[in-house]
Amino acid sequence: MGAGHAHPLHLERASPVHRLAPEVKIAAVLLFTIIVVVTPRTEFWAFAGYAVLLAVVAVLARVPALWLAKRATIELPFVLLAIALPFAGRGERIDWLGLSLSVDGLHGAWNIFAKGTLGVLASLLLAASTTMRDLILGLDRLHCPAVFTQIATFMLRYLDVLADDARRMRIARLSRGYDPRFLWQVKAFAVSVGALFLRAYERGERVYLAMVSRGYTGTLPRAENDRAPVTQWVAAAVLPAATAGIALAAALG
Amino acid sequence: METTAMHIANGIVDGPVSAVFAVLAVVALAICVRKARNDLDERLAPMAGLVAAFIFAVQMLNFQVLPGVSGHLLGGTLAVILVGPWVGALCVSTVLIVQCLLFADGGLTALGLNITNMALLGTAAGYLLVVALLRFLPKTPTGLGTTALIASIVSVVVASQGFVLEYALGGTTDLSLPVISGTMAGVHILIGIGEGLIAATTVVTVAKVRPDLVYALRRFRKPATISEVGVNA
């Protein structure tokens, strides 16, 4: 049973990237990803430049390359899709090692691989350097509607509680000598999902009543509102600015 | 936790189409927030938060389908039947946003696409079907289970066809659309059947214990009367 305050992708480090305010990091990653996605796929050098930028951020954030590589395997289904594209694509075809490949499909595969990987790496760096609570705080400061940040706060706060509830139900079932693990035993699994919903909903009702009895009126008190200083915005803006620079250089060059 | 992404990544659909769907998702979610407030008023944040946590937790529970192949519930239709379309869509969206930011699952620029497919199209199709089916089917746990099964399959397939539509509008590679559409539909019918079986059993369990909690049955509930108690006392 964890303390429930870290998420699986967070990496505790003392680094300049970790110290940046969450809202500037979210904004920087979002801008970076947008620029990457709108870059034409044939600007191969631009993508190499972006990768170098992310490598610099990873070094600054003291996130090991192996850690990133392991987590980036989340992308694997899309890499498989990318591999299929040169065979399934249409239009002009070239012969390579006896295989007939579609040029458009090859470009498409590169497009998904490059943009997908850069996007996943940027998101991983954000998640690694920001705690769960800080991410929500950052969204709040970026004027994300309070309804969402509140729902997300409750969700993350109770996620571990519910996961533990599910684990306890499983242990209870095992200690009664039943271990459903095959398709035809799916009923026991589904019934426990139903039980989990009842526990979650009833817990929600109890949490709400506890909040009302402590004076809740429908809005949560705002968290401390010390906004990020301009220097942090400038520091974080280096990433999207350099990315835009590379994109521009590639487009003009 | 071992997970692989099944949410659209960056670079699969081009920028302009992604932007259009992001705007569409924001507008639709604003409507959902307004309607969800009608359902839950000031209870919205804690209740929707717990339901979202439930969906998230359910997605973490893997069930072995065949040796080496395990799947998990997506929970969209389940949420819609249990808590209604507005709160359901809101909860699924919150799960998708958090998965994107905290777990790097789904591209940041594809968030609008993912929300449109799974939180809006999927839940809307599921709920409309639930409303239509419950007119004909008996309002018993069995009828509700059958409804959940059919609605889950349709909802998952509709969500997958949402991707086909987005790909047709802004796909980055020229592929034969009928082939993508057929492949996506085929795979998702299988996923939908598994999803539907589990969702149906889950809904039946809840309907037997706390029928008052099942949103889809709420319209058919008889108002409670206190006059029967103590009439002859």
| pLDDT greater than 90 at residue A250 | no
Whichever domain contains B163, its CATH number is: 1.10.1760.20
pLDDT given for residue B128 in this prediction: 92
Residue B175: closest C-alpha in chain A: A89
Average pLDDT value for chain A: 83
% of chain A residues with pLDDT over 90? 11
pLDDT given for residue A223 in this prediction: 62
- Residue A107, H or E segment: helix A103-129
| pLDDT greater than 90 at residue A99 | no
Q: Hey, is the C-beta of A51 within 8 angstroms of any chain B C-beta?
A: no
Mean pLDDT of B123-134: 91
Cα torsion A152, A157, A160, A164: sign: negative
The distance from CA A6 to its chain's CA centroid, rounded to whole angstroms, is 14
The reply to whether residue B54 touches residue A201, judged by beta carbons under 8 angstroms, is: yes
Cβ contacts of B172 on chain A, cutoff 8 Å:
41, 108, 111-112
Task: Assess if residue B195 is contained within a domain.
Answer: yes
Of B94, B107, B200, the CB nearest to A155: B94
Q: Strand, coil or helix: what is A100?
A: strand
Cβ contacts of A73 on chain B, cutoff 8 Å:
4
CA distance B86 to chain A (A): 13
Tell me the pTM.
0.85
**Mutation target vs A (from B87, B101, B197; most A CBs, 10 A cutoff):** B101
Q: pLDDT, tens digit, for every residue of A167-224?
A: 898 899 889 988 777 667 778 888 888 888 888 888 888 888 898 899 887 777 766 6
Burial B2-41 (b: 16+ CB within 10 A, else e): ebebebbbbbbbbbebbbbbbeebeebbeebbeebbebbe
Q: Hey, is the C-beta of A215 within 8 angstroms of any chain B C-beta?
A: no
- Sketch the domain layout of chain A as residue ranges: 16-138+228-252, 146-212
- Residues within 8 A of B (CB atoms), A 76-115 only: 76-78, 81, 85, 88-91, 104-105, 107-109, 111-112, 114-115
Of B3, B42, B53, the CB nearest to A154: B53
Of B47, B49, B172, the CB nearest to A153: B49
Residue A165: closest C-alpha in chain B: B57
Q: pLDDT, tens digit, for every residue of B138-165?
A: 888 888 899 999 999 999 899 888 888 8
% of chain B residues with pLDDT over 70? 88
| pLDDT greater than 60 at residue A132 | yes
The reply to whether residue B94 touches residue A151, judged by beta carbons under 8 angstroms, is: yes
Q: pLDDT, tens digit, for every residue of B26-65?
A: 999 999 988 888 877 777 788 888 888 888 888 877 666 6
CA distance A118 to chain B (A): 9
Cβ contacts of B44 on chain A, cutoff 8 Å:
147, 151, 218
Task: Assess if residue B70 is contained within a domain.
Answer: yes
Burial A11-35 (b: 16+ CB within 10 A, else e): beeeeebbebbbbbbbbbbbbbbbb
**B121 C-beta neighbours (distance < 10 Å), count:** 22
Task: Tell the residue number behind the tokens 């089917």, with chain if given.
Answer: B137
CA distance A115 to chain B (A): 5
Domain range for B113 is 15-220
Q: pLDDT, tens digit, for every residue of B71-113?
A: 677 788 888 888 889 988 999 999 888 888 887 788 888 889 9
pLDDT given for residue B151 in this prediction: 92
Task: Assess if residue B233 is contained within a domain.
Answer: no
How many domains does the structure of chain B reveal?
1
Helices (H), A12-102: 16-19, 22-38, 44-60, 65-71, 76-88
pLDDT given for residue A55 in this prediction: 93
| pLDDT greater than 80 at residue B182 | yes
Q: Strand, coil or helix: what is A9?
A: coil
Of B57, B78, B108, the CB nearest to A33: B108
CA distance B56 to chain A (A): 7
% of chain A residues with pLDDT over 70? 92
Q: Hey, is the C-beta of A158 within 8 angstroms of any chain B C-beta?
A: yes
| pLDDT greater than 70 at residue B186 | yes
The reply to whether residue A123 touches residue B108, judged by beta carbons under 8 angstroms, is: yes
Q: Hey, is the C-beta of A133 within 8 angstroms of any chain B C-beta?
A: no
Cβ contacts of A85 on chain B, cutoff 8 Å:
173, 175
The reply to whether residue A193 touches residue B108, judged by beta carbons under 8 angstroms, is: no
Task: Assess if residue B8 is contained within a domain.
Answer: no
Of A112, A120, A182, the CB nearest to B104: A120
Task: Assess if residue B3 is contained within a domain.
Answer: no
Task: Assess if residue B50 is contained within a domain.
Answer: yes
Q: pLDDT, tens digit, for every residue of A146-178?
A: 888 888 888 888 888 888 888 898 899 889 988
Cβ contacts of B213 on chain A, cutoff 8 Å:
198, 201
Q: pLDDT, tens digit, for every residue of A13-24?
A: 888 888 888 899
Residue A204: closest C-alpha in chain B: B47
**Mutation target vs A (from B102, B163, B188; most A CBs, 10 A cutoff):** B102
CA angle B136, B139, B143 (to 5 degrees): 75
Distinct helix (H) and strand (E) counts, chain B: 8, 2
**Mutation target vs A (from B108, B198, B204; most A CBs, 10 A cutoff):** B108
pLDDT given for residue B5 in this prediction: 46
| pLDDT greater than 90 at residue B180 | no
Task: Assess if residue B2 is contained within a domain.
Answer: no
Q: What is the ipTM of this complex?
A: 0.82
Task: Assess if residue B205 is contained within a domain.
Answer: yes
pLDDT given for residue A3 in this prediction: 45
First vs last Cα of chain A: how many Å apart?
55
| pLDDT greater than 50 at residue A4 | no
| pLDDT greater than 60 at residue A63 | yes
